[in-house]
Chains A and B, each alone.
Chain A
Amino acid sequence: MKRALVIAKKELLSYFNSAIAYIFFTLFLVILGFLFFRLYFLIGVVSMNDFFSIIPWIFLIFIPSVTMKSWAEEKKTGTMEVLFTMPVTDLVLVTGKFLAGFAFVSIAIILTFIVPVLVSMTGTLDWGPVITSYIGLFLLAGSYVAIGNLISSFTANQVSAFLVTAVSILVFMIIGTEPVYSVFPNFIADIVRNFSLSYHFQSIQRGVLDSRDMVYYLSIISLFMFFNIRSIESRNW
């Protein structure tokens, strides 16, 4: 498993070797800051609620653009042939790719820590929900990355990887919103909602770290990593 870190390191190196990573982070922070503070000063309540409601939707665009190249580019340039003939298992490869995407997105999340600090300067901030929401945010981002990596392994085209990932995540998000799940009969609505990425995040946002929510995200991550192993195993590309 040490080799998974080797892959993650290589991936991160390629992000930071170009200017893309820095442009990404800047854009992410500027858009997030603008959307949040615009609302914040309008409403004037010392709370991070809106921040955590906005960020999953920004991730909807941001994370697929991080994960789109993970396998698709290896496939396109043929380097997966080098990678797949290294003496490591597919599990190591998939873990490495996941860690790389997760680490990159985690850096973006850590950069936003400045926001609650700024908010707390304007009044008394209840840190409890902020901390649980951040834990939830890391889990949510991890799920996005696992989904994005799987989809990137289906194609050699980064643009289609991006689009399909964004749409898939969108579906996983909106089935947890009331207008969507309420169209189903009650007992199905409950199941649909429980499958959604957004429902569990909302419950974490309230400031309670329920083990069910944690288990949900960890299962989603493991499940998509498992599918990812299956998809690269077939080598049908």
Chain B
Amino acid sequence: MDVIIELANVSKSYNEIKAVENLSFKLKKGEILGFLGPNGAGKTTAMKMITGYMPPDTGTIKVKNEDILKDPVKARISIGYLPENNPLYLDMTVAEYLNFIAEMRGIENREKAIDSALAKCGIKNVSHRIINHLSKGYKQRVGLAQAIIHDPEILILDEPVNGLDPKQITEIRNLIKEIGKEKTVILCSHILYEVEAVADRVLIINNGRIAADDTIENLRERSKGSNIFVLDIIDETADIAEKLNTLENVKKVEKVHSGLYRIFAAGNKETGHSIFVLAASNNWKVVQLYLEGNSLENMFLNLTEGGK
């Protein structure tokens, strides 16, 4: 498949603070990329550069094989962008706002484009209301409608579900999934869970550099080595940690406090079972044994905390 976005050695600093450092990646047409990193990792800066909002200090960004600095206006035609915090002209009605965007983008059949964007985002019924009077979820839909009104090939969404309630998150996520079927999407988030369900590929960025870049399946495969089991025991004996360490797949045992252990292990269900068998054969009084969090989540945390 064709490469549609290409970043090569892109760096950007603000007053000597490096926001993005030597960032290089390629995005193929039709791919949905989860762009992941903790707050302040450089995600938004990277998006601002790809959308042509600001130029990189060094490096090149190509959209559809053309350097965006050579013809920024042309690159912007193929991109739809929902900036972080979803800025909107709050004193306009939804219809006025979308009409403004459609005119700015020089769309010929404006009525049709607006109608289709309203329908896709499910906001037809509020089109004559003033944006400021809408709920946060609806505002987010208006922002999304703005980003897709010109039917762009590339859609860049920066933290699209930040600050929404769980129901709204599910709705917006489904909407992104639906829109993503036909487009190349970059979805930024600081929460793995949000991109996991939608993205084909995840790029984890930390302190302006790439920490991981792989498909969800591969990452899951890799993350199997980073399971953490928690074992909670009453009446503990001295040699529990020792015995746990003898188990196959166990890499490290950490004693949190008396009777509570965190076991870092590869493998998943088998390891859990063997911990259970060990406990049973030693007559340990187990209160609970569980997997701490999602293994992918753990890996994400490891990758992003390790850089600090």
Q: Which of A70-111 contact B (CB under 8 A)?
A: 77-89
Contact B104 A3 (CB under 8 A): yes
Question: Which residues of chain B have C-beta atoms less than 8 A from A17's C-beta?
Answer: 91-92
Segment of A7-15, A169-177, A216-224 engaged in the interface with chain B:
A7-15
Closest to B93 in A: A17
23 chain-A/chain-B pairs, Cβ below 8 angstroms: A6-B100, A6-B103, A6-B104, A10-B89, A14-B89, A14-B92, A17-B92, A78-B85, A79-B89, A80-B87, A81-B53, A82-B87, A82-B101, A83-B104, A84-B53, A85-B51, A85-B76, A86-B76, A87-B73, A87-B104, A88-B73, A88-B104, A89-B73
Contact A13 B92 (CB under 8 A): yes
Give the complex CA separation of A89 and B89 in angstroms: 20
Contact B106 A87 (CB under 8 A): yes
Q: Which of B38-56 contact A (CB under 8 A)?
A: 48, 51-55
Count of A interface residues, CB-CB < 8 Å: 22
Contact B105 A87 (CB under 8 A): yes
Q: Closest CB of chain B to A88's CB: distance in Å?
A: 7
Q: Which of A1-25 contact B (CB under 8 A)?
A: 3, 6-7, 10, 13-14, 17-18
Contact A79 B88 (CB under 8 A): yes
Known: A78-B85, A235-B53. A10 touches B73 (CB 8 A): no
Measured CB to CB, the residues of B under 8 A from A are: 48, 51-55, 73-74, 76-77, 79, 81, 83-85, 87-92, 96, 100-101, 103-106, 146
The one of B48, B77, B87 in contact with A87, judged by C-beta atoms closer than 8 angstroms, is B77
Give the complex CA separation of A3 and B53 in angstroms: 18
Q: Closest CB of chain B to A51's CB: distance in Å?
A: 35
Closest to B97 in A: A10
Give the complex CA separation of A71 and B84 in angstroms: 19
Q: Closest CB of chain A to B10's CB: distance in Å?
A: 16
**Shortest 8 CB-CB distances between A and B: which pairs?**
A78-B87, A235-B54, A81-B83, A87-B76, A6-B103, A79-B87, A86-B104, A85-B51
The one of B48, B74, B87, B96 in contact with A13, judged by C-beta atoms closer than 8 angstroms, is B96
Question: Which residues of chain A have C-beta atoms less than 8 A from B90's C-beta?
Answer: 77
Give the complex CA separation of A235 and B96 in angstroms: 27
Find the residue from A13, A17, A18, A86 having the highest chain B CB count within 10 A: A86
Q: Closest CB of chain B to A158's CB: distance in Å?
A: 15
Question: Which residues of chain B have C-beta atoms less than 8 A from A235's C-beta?
Answer: 53-55
Contact A3 B103 (CB under 8 A): yes
Give the complex CA separation of A7 and B129 in angstroms: 21
Question: Which residues of chain A have C-beta atoms less than 8 A from B83's C-beta?
Answer: 78, 81-82, 85
Find the residue from B53, B87, B100, B104 having the highest chain A CB count within 10 A: B104
Q: Closest CB of chain B to A126's CB: distance in Å?
A: 45
Contact B100 A85 (CB under 8 A): no
Contact B87 A77 (CB under 8 A): yes
Q: Closest CB of chain A to B33's CB: distance in Å?
A: 18
Contact A85 B53 (CB under 8 A): yes
Question: Which residues of chain A have C-beta atoms less than 8 A from B73's C-beta?
Answer: 87-89
Contact A3 B106 (CB under 8 A): yes
Question: Which residues of chain A have C-beta atoms less than 8 A from B85's C-beta?
Answer: 78
Question: Which residues of chain B have C-beta atoms less than 8 A from A82's C-beta?
Answer: 81, 83, 87-88, 101, 146
Contact B104 A7 (CB under 8 A): yes
Q: Closest CB of chain A to B93's CB: distance in Å?
A: 9
